[in-house]
Amino acid sequence: MRESMKKLRNLCASPSCDNLRWLGSIEDTKWLVYVRQLLKSGLHIAQLLRSGESVLLHCSHGWDRTSQIASLAQIFIDPFFRTWKGFQVLIEKEWLSFGHPFHIRHSHGEKADTQESPIFIQFLDCVSQLVRIYPSYFEFNEGLLLMLADALHSCRFGTFLFDCKKHRQEANLGNRTTSVWTWVNGFRPQLTEQTYAPKQVLNPPLTGLLKRVVLWDAMFMRWSGQQLVQEPPISTNFFSDNSQRTPTWQLPQGTLNALNTALTVKYREAQLIQELEERITALEEKVKGRRGSRH
């Protein structure tokens, strides 16, 4: 799984693309295969439950595939978990309370962890597929998923720190840090799906669902060399647009200045990287030309 994510990230972050087999290269990373497998398993569990069957779900440790598939099954079967509040409850229950090791799986320590694996990002990707295909079934849009993905890696909030609830309580994170939900709830108007229709039954045909799984470009392509210079990532707009928030959630000017400075530096660095890569490519072409002239 880790290698699949690495290949996908490198492919999407490439500053230029002359690969006429782009979609084939994406498939070769196996990332979309894993996404389809998870959606298939989640839908299968939901259909068993609808038919009155009891289901025992467990993976090797009970905190990776179990969390992913159990969460997806509940999203399919219960409209509550497709609401703004319900989705937060689902993550708190299946991921945080049941002990998904965010610290280990997402390498939050000083050193890279050999057990790192993008389990939660993969779950968000699965949900993004459903949000894209069936938008009116969800009260929220993909902006919420992007903000959660960013919050997971930034470690700015206590929600995704440590490996279990016990460790978070021992560190007194409830009093020492801010919850990610406090942050995202301030953007509810922007993150709400306007076509949402409550209490719909989400039971799609499996073949049709799997055929419509595609690369989550809002997540992975925003770091593409060219796109990064042209426009900010989607979720960054929420950080910088303070005026759209309700007064209760507006940020102090000092915080905004710090965010804007960080973003400016980020884009300048991206632009510099792109310029250097173009110069390297030009130099490589010159070297090839000189070698060819010698022959």
Question: What phi and psi values does residue 192 have, to the nearest 5 degrees?
Answer: -90, 135
**Rounded distance between C-alpha atoms, residue 19 and residue 21, angstroms:** 5
Tell whether 223 is in a known binding site.
Answer: no
Q: Using H for helix, E for strand and C for coil, what is the string for 153-222?
A: HHCCCCCCCCCCHHHHHHCCHHHHCCCHHHHHHHHHHHHECCCCCCCCCCCCCHHHHHHCCCCCHHHHHH
Q: Is 164 a catalytic residue?
A: no
Cα–Cα dist 246/236, whole Å: 18
Q: Is residue 59 a known part of a binding site?
A: yes
Tell me if 100 is assigned to a ligand binding site: no
99 is in an annotated binding site: no
- The response to whether 65 counts as a known ligand-binding position is yes
Q: Which of 17, 59, 126, 164 is catalytic?
A: 59
| Residues annotated as catalytic (active site), given as ranges | 59
In the annotated binding site for substrate, the residues are 59-65
In the annotated binding site, the residues are 59-65
